[in-house]
Amino acid sequence: MRQKVAAVLMMMTLLLSSCAAGNNHLRDALTFREKLLESGSCRFTAKITAEVQERGYVFLLESACKEDTASVRVLAPESIADISAQITSMDATISFDGVGLTFGTMDDVMTSPLYLPWLLNACWRSAYIDCAGVDGEYLRVTYRYGTGEEELILETWFSELTPICAEVYRKERLLLSAELEGFTFGA
């Protein structure tokens, strides 16, 4: 009888310690959010891969995000370099010198590569945190943005509370992926 009680107590200890560890990961995700909100802004470079009509496109974007606004400048591909955009939750203004962008049929505007920095910032600041845990040596945080059929799932991997990569899904379908570099808080 004592062995059964001891076994049950050991199992409960293991379960409770794993829950506590999970809370530490959530606490890390909330610490990142708190730092972002306190700083008011962030900057980063994103190498974004998008699949459009079975063709892969890679973009390199320089991004500065503040509250509900993202300023984005295209660094690559060279054919559209220096196109810039100011993006908010309500609209986007794209600036360029006689160059038009054609991406083909996009899932919707929120999954356009130019919108990704805004979406990252919006999720990091206020989207529902679905879960947080360890993936290899990195913290992996899952955010949910929107509702119903329009819901997007954003996965972000952090190294010491610095975002290093992200993926955007609608249901199980990967829409965009990004490698993030040079992340800094503040302007």
Domain ranges of the chain: 2-185
The pLDDT, as a whole number, for residue 78 is 93
Question: Tokens 């038009």 label which residue?
Answer: 100
**Is residue 170 packed enough to be buried (19+ CB in 10 Å), middle (13-18) or exposed (0-12)?**
middle
Mean pLDDT for the stretch of residues 126-143? 96
User: pLDDT (tens digit, 9 = 90+) per residue, 24-69?
Assistant: 999 999 999 999 999 999 999 999 999 777 788 999 999 999 999 9
Mean pLDDT of the chain: 83
Tell me: pLDDT of 104 over 50: no
Please provide the CATH number assigned to the domain covering 2-185: 2.50.20
